[in-house]
């Protein structure tokens, strides 16, 4: 019984000791300046008649008579074996892409997809094409990067994911599936 009383007294002492108030900190003098409240200047109010110009603002004329056209479907381009003789797969892809882009630069191209110029920036083998869920899969596939010079708005090229620079060149990329059959190479853009 004596042990129970001693245990109860010690327990009560521990509880009371833990309830003791913490010592209050003593303020010390510091040499650092206290932060001051600064206000930011108010943002300018923009009116709808004065849009904010940006560095990449599109400077293309708008032609309301140009409408979406089914004629802008991807043209069928073919490269005969005789024109591909001795060329690597990268070079064959580049030649097919050149034929494909030349169609859109030709004067008879539909106005909705007509371009003023083009460059092929890069044709490379990307090992991810084996694993990406791209369709169609060709005899070989390449990642292509190319640029086109836009003429007017609207146009079909704005539906592509790309970057337009201040000179109205749209920089694009995509995966190309190249097929070889009947002594002819053809291409098609592959998509997920």
Domain parsing of the chain, residue ranges: 74-190
Instruction: Identify the CA nearest to 78 among candidates 101, 94, 99, 104.
Output: 99
Q: Is the pLDDT of residue 18 over 80?
A: no
Q: Is the pLDDT of residue 131 over 50?
A: yes
What pLDDT score does 46 carry? 44
54-58, 69-73, 148-152: which has the minimum mean pLDDT? 54-58
Spell out a b/e string for 143-172, using b for 16 or more CB atoms within 10 Å of the CB, else e. bbebbbebbbebbbbeeeebebeeebbbeb
**What DSSP character marks residue 21?**
P
> By three-state DSSP, how is residue 156 classified?
helix
What pLDDT score does 26 carry? 62
What is the pTM (predicted TM-score) of this model? 0.68
pLDDT tens string 74-108: 889 999 999 999 999 999 999 999 999 999 999 98
Residue bearing tokens 């990329």: 173
CB of 58 closer than 8 Å to CB of 162 = no
What pLDDT score does 33 carry? 59
């Amino acid at each position: 019984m004596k042990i129970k009383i001693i245990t109860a007294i010690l327990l009560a002492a521990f509880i009371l000791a833990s309830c003791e108030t913490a010592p209050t900190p003593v303020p010390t003098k510091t040499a650092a300046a206290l932060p001051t409240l600064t206000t930011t200047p108010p943002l300018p109010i923009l009116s709808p008649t004065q849009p904010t110009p940006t560095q990449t603002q599109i400077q293309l004329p708008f032609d309301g008579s140009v409408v979406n056209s089914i004629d802008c479907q991807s043209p069928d381009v073919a490269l005969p074996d005789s024109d591909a003789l001795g060329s690597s797969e990268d070079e064959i892809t580049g030649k097919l892409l050149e034929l494909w882009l030349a169609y859109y630069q030709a004067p008879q191209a539909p106005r909705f997809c007509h371009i003023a110029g083009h460059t092929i920036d890069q044709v490379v083998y990307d090992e991810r094409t084996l694993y990406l869920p791209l369709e169609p899969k060709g005899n070989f596939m390449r990642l292509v990067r190319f640029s086109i010079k836009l003429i007017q708005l609207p146009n079909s090229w704005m539906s592509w994911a790309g970057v337009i620079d201040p000179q109205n060149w749209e920089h694009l990329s995509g995966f190309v599936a190249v097929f070889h059959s009947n002594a002819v190479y053809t291409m098609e853009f592959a998509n997920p």
